[in-house]
Amino acid sequence: MTGFSPDWLALREPFDRGARSARLAELFASRLPPTPRIVDLGGGTGANIRALAALMPAGTRWRMVDDDPEVIAVARASLAEYRVEFDRRDLAADLEGAIGDAQAITASALADLVSRTWIDRLFAAAAERAAPLLIVLTVDGWHEFSPAHPDDDLVLNAFAQDQRRDKGFGPALGGNAAEYLAAAARHVGFAVEGEASDWQIPSDATPMLHALIEGIAGASSSARPALARRIHAWRDARAASIAAKRLTFAVGHRDVCAYPERRA
């Protein structure tokens, strides 16, 4: 779990797919105009469009925005069957330009990376366009290892600190993002619904478990270098449990759909 490499995005995609709320995707679809223009912010290799396309109205036109040419190249090759434009752009610097003439906005696995100010800008732009939003797979800070290890909380507290580090958008919301999305939606007068979209990672998902443990150990020791030795010992113990197929891991996420209320 180092950055957002195509390999990492491919590894997480089936877990995302299994966790997403179908009900909220359908609610989002029900709020769209015919042949809508939908923008996918921070689209990566295109997983969000792949997951949503079949649920959206016929003739949907997509625009996928990301600032990483490597993931855009993978997305371009794998989304050929859909009507998708690709827009390489820095979402921190030019969110309003990225949304452009879109009539609806979606993003997956992005909202925990951004700041309160950025979310406020997102909802201001959505309100100006009366555009519904579907923001999915936002981490909510809940984790559950089975079996537990005495240093789980120590490591996860350091990891939460890393999740709040500035990722280019200002101080990141991390595990508070899903709650803030709902508050920001209400602030602009949108209705909002949320649903859990937790990852449930079984003991035989060895590559995913290893990637997560390595990613958590790396990020938490960067956040708390003084704890690095204990964190490395925790990582080694967790790696041994994975090898013995004894570890399962659940990671809390939330999907949110927000939309302007229809007038009576």
Whichever of 43 and 175 has its CB closer to ligand SAM, that residue is: 43
> Which CB atom, from 138 or from 241, has the smaller least distance to ligand SAM?
138
Q: What is the C-alpha to C-alpha distance for residues 32 and 21, in angstroms, rounded to an integer?
A: 17
For residues 213 and 185, what is the distance between their CA atoms, to the nearest angstrom? Answer: 34
The nearer residue to ligand SAM, 47 or 173, going by C-beta atoms, is 47
Contacts of 136 (CB under 8 A, 6+ apart): 20, 21, 24, 25, 48, 106, 107, 108, 109, 197, 253, 255, 256
Q: Residue 136 or residue 223: which is nearer to ligand SAM going by CB?
A: 136
Q: 193 forms bridges with which residues in the sheet? A: 257
Please name the residues in contact with 188: beta carbons below 8 A apart, sequence gap of 6 or more.
Answer: 123, 124, 126, 127
- Secondary structure letter of residue 55 according to DSSP: G
CB of 233 to ligand SAM, least distance (A): 28
Which residue, judged by CB position, is nearest to ligand SAM in the bound state?
44
Minimum CB distance to ligand SAM smaller for 123 or for 234: 123
Q: What distance in Å separates the CA atoms of residue 42 and residue 91, rounded to the nearest whole number?
A: 8
Q: Map tokens 């399962």 to a residue.
A: 248
Compute the least distance from the CB of residue 239 to ligand SAM, in Å. Answer: 24
Spatial separation of the C-alpha atoms in residues 59 and 70, rounded to whole Å:
28
Which lies closer to ligand SAM via its Cβ, residue 71 or residue 181? Answer: 71
Output the smallest distance, CB 71 to ligand SAM, in A. 5
**What contacts 123, CB < 8 A, 6 or more positions away?**
133, 184, 185, 187, 188, 190, 258
- Compute the least distance from the CB of residue 138 to ligand SAM, in Å: 10
Least distance (Å) from ligand SAM to the CB of residue 65?
A: 6
Q: How far is the CB of 64 from ligand SAM (least distance, A)?
A: 9
Task: Specify the DSSP class assigned to residue 32.
Answer: P
Output 113 or 241, the one with its CB closest to ligand SAM.
Answer: 113
User: What CA–CA distance (Å, rounded) separates 126 from 259?
Assistant: 9
- Contacts to ligand SAM by CB under 6 A: 4, 9, 42-44, 47-48, 66-68, 71, 90-92, 108-110, 168
Could you tell me the smallest distance in angstroms from the CB atom of residue 94 to ligand SAM? 9
- State how beta strands 190-196 and 248-260 pair: antiparallel
